[in-house]
Structure 1
């Protein structure tokens, strides 16, 4: 009987932890951030987002007539603000970049000056991401100048993912600047169903990784984007995914 009891105790010691591990549900807190680009520029969806209840992060184009207005409006209503820094692409119209973009013909000193000017025109900004930039983000000198300013100004960086050869990840990691990369573009197909489909992609990515980042836009299709996001919130609630400002994704 003594040996039977000892054997039973040993068996239980082995079995209970294993069983508890096997039945333990995923206790991670799932978080997704939704960045909305082009504030300061396009008008469509601006009011819907900045007077709404979706906790977006507002990425504001610098140097525009409405840069400060939109940044202040967003901050006043409790939304996180970041700089949507215009950078030279491989293709596309120069006019799409707006004034004072970061182009590859600039010296590192000129790049830093433009980034500092951008910061000055977007109050309350705590981070930055790139507007277009498929050419400029591949230029190590250009990117290093941007990241150095971000480090000095204590800004995080979101790589918008316009080039697979972006230098942002390696240089930001080298300089110890917080960086993450966009997972999904919400409105690459400008329709309500397209936004909803991409919101579902964001949810699935978040469940796999524990967190996810999507980018949408104000402007011509801004109202469609806002409606598609709003109509997807119930699905996020069912999946226990919390939508948060970008900075919360860096919190440990």
Structure 2
């Protein structure tokens, strides 16, 4: 069943339930795919319909659903008859974006033109770690420590990297020293770490430090076998997980596709966290694309806004 027919069925079901005659609605379907226009999820399409204009005593709306053009004509009398026929207000999806791997250079000037809701994550023991932390705070951004952790595969490691070979005292002291290099951090996320985030003991040691310093954790999710969120729950550390990587192929086309995936997921599940890197193409694509989020029912939010204090974090189930 196409989304057009599915939406027609939904409206028809409402009509039957409330004893409203079906002739009040009339669907016009245009079979050809549009060359222009943003593809919308059904919720966005319905919102667009009800934002239509009054024409000849009818409410008229049209839009695009998964590439199909459709139009709906509704009698104004029907809308006035019962508010029960109107869909419940749809809460805008939320998108949080974190830019990793900062600290080797000063915070790029491009950030001055990007929304303050975009968070940054700073590597410790980099030349500009502390300066970048302070500059991001001046820009009213959320700051994270991007803590290097042991990967599964052989790879060049940062000078300060948590590994499973460390004793507990060395491990936790290394983490505390890294936090001092990024003094404005409200949370920590892992750099690499596909091996260490599978290690329950190591993740418990991380969460013990974060709990003591009242910090949060973001699982960069470099492996599907991560136990970081489970450990965070044990130590009552607020924790979330990354949903989308934006730029592991640093091209405008790919980044735009990944951002669209993030938007679609946010429309479906309410909140999404995306991680990118300070590539010029990534920052330029965000500059161009972010102003269109509101039209797709998406609100750009601070990462810290997703750590709700009065309910379990949405990412606590791995």
* TM-score, with structure 2 as normaliser: 0.68
Matched, 1:197 2:262: no
Larger RCO of the pair (alpha carbons < 8 Å, separation 6+): 1
CA contact (8 A) 1:109 1:145 kept: no
Q: Tell me which residue corresponds to 1:69.
A: 131
Matches within 5 A, 1:123-138: 123-138=183-198
Counterpart-to-counterpart distance in 2, 1:167 and 1:41:
29
**How far 1:46 sits from its partner (Å)?**
2.3
Q: Tell me which residue corresponds to 1:34.
A: 97
**How far 1:42 sits from its partner (Å)?**
5.3
Q: CA RMSD in A?
A: 1.9
CA contact (8 A) 1:187 1:194 kept: yes
More helix, by proportion: 1
Counterpart-to-counterpart distance in 2, 1:21 and 1:197:
37
**How far 1:238 sits from its partner (Å)?**
0.7
The one of 214, 234, 240 equivalent to 2:291 is: 234
Q: Tell me which residue corresponds to 1:53.
A: 114
Counterpart-to-counterpart distance in 2, 1:108 and 1:141:
9
Counterpart-to-counterpart distance in 2, 1:117 and 1:36:
22
Cα separation, partners in 2 of 1:123 and 1:22, compared to 1, 3 Å: farther
Encode CA deviations 1:173-210: one digit per residue, 9 max, x unaligned. Answer: 12211111101000011101111111101101111111
Q: Tell me which residue corresponds to 2:35.
A: none
**How far 1:90 sits from its partner (Å)?**
1.1
**How far 1:20 sits from its partner (Å)?**
4.7
Matched, 1:173 2:233: yes
What stretches of structure 1 move > 6 A for 4+ residues in a row? none
Greater Rg, structure 1 or structure 2? 2
Encode CA deviations 1:103-143: one digit per residue, 9 max, x unaligned. Answer: 11012222111111011000211001000010111111111
The one of 307, 312, 317 equivalent to 1:250 is: 307
Matched, 1:87 2:149: yes
Q: Alignment length, in residue pairs?
A: 230
Counterpart-to-counterpart distance in 1, 2:245 and 2:104:
19
CA contact (8 A) 2:105 2:128 kept: no
Mark the runs of 5 or more structure 2 residues left unpaired by the alignment: 1-16, 20-81, 311-318
Cα separation, partners in 2 of 1:21 and 1:105, compared to 1, 3 Å: farther
Mark the runs of 5 or more structure 1 residues left unpaired by the alignment: 1-13
Encode CA deviations 1:135-155: one digit per residue, 9 max, x unaligned. Answer: 111111111100111111111
Counterpart-to-counterpart distance in 2, 1:92 and 1:52:
37
Q: Tell me which residue corresponds to 1:224.
A: 281
